[in-house]
């Protein structure tokens, strides 16, 4: 007869499932580093495959860029950018535990050219930007009507430097993405239930 798991084993399993997974940095100075992330509701890290495609698109633009990660979650996009020698990353994340984990991961990497701000991104972007950004990631939680509102605020409040690149990742059924008329669609791909696009302002 199989033994029932002990209370200690049950507790260890529960703690493991409650705490986390990992995000792997694909390339750059921290290539193949794995960092912990919290398993939080709505947290949906951009997959390695999509991230690899995205950073192939950005290959000549990310080094030296000022990066804005509007819905950081695991931080996969901003961490990958910093690994590939982005100049600076402003990282926005609403959930306190995810923001704290991002700060810890930056400390682990001894990275001092990024700032994590725990905030509601729409409230943050409603302010006029003091300095613009070269690469902006818009990867909000799905089905919460956040993508179009974010795009509108980015365009209105001087968040975009000249010729800025804007990455937008949404659920595939969102067909009415409202981008400014002067944004040029450079790339677009569908991967299962998500669609991801790269625009230039």
Give the model confidence (pLDDT) of 69-122 as tens digits. Answer: 999 999 999 999 999 999 999 999 999 999 999 999 999 999 999 999 999 999
The answer, yes or no, to whether residue 18 has pLDDT greater than 60, is: no
What is the number of other CB atoms lying within 10 angstroms of the CB of residue 111? Answer: 16
| pLDDT for position 3 | 47
Q: Is 110 helix (H, G, I), strand (E, B) or coil?
A: coil
User: Ramachandran region of residue 162, left (φ > 0), alpha (ψ -120 to 50) or beta?
Assistant: beta
Average pLDDT, the chain: 88
Closest listed residue to residue 34, CA positions, set 50, 43, 18, 45: 45
Cα–Cα dist 47/184, whole Å: 25
pTM of the model: 0.87
The pLDDT of residue 4 is above 80: no
Question: Minimum mean pLDDT among 24-28, 36-40, 72-76, 136-140: which range?
Answer: 36-40
Distance separating alpha carbons of residues 121 and 70, to the nearest angstrom: 6
| Measured CA distances, 32 to 54, 67, 101 (Å) | 17, 21, 19
What pLDDT score was predicted for residue 47? 80
> Scanning the structure block, which residue is given the tokens 């926005």?
92
């Amino acid at each position: 007869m199989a033994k029932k798991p002990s209370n200690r084993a049950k507790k260890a399993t529960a703690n493991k499932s409650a705490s986390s997974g990992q995000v792997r940095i694909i390339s750059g100075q921290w290539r193949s580093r794995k960092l912990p992330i919290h398993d939080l509701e709505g947290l949906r890290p951009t997959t390695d495959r999509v991230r690899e495609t995205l950073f192939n698109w950005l290959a000549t633009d990310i080094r030296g860029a000022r990066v804005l990660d509007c819905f950081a979650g695991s931080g996969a996009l901003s961490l990958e950018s910093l690994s590939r020698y982005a100049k600076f990353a402003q990282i926005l994340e609403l959930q306190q535990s995810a923001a704290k984990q991002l700060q810890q991961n930056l400390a682990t990497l001894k990275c001092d050219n990024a700032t994590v701000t725990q905030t509601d991104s729409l409230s943050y972007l409603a302010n006029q930007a003091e300095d613009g950004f070269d690469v902006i990631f818009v990867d909000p939680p799905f089905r919460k009507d956040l993508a179009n509102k974010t795009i509108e605020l980015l365009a209105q409040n001087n968040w975009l430097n000249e010729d800025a690149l804007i990455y937008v990742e949404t659920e595939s059924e969102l067909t009415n993405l409202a981008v400014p008329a002067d944004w040029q669609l450079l790339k677009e791909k569908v991967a299962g239930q998500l669609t991801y696009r790269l625009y230039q302002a």
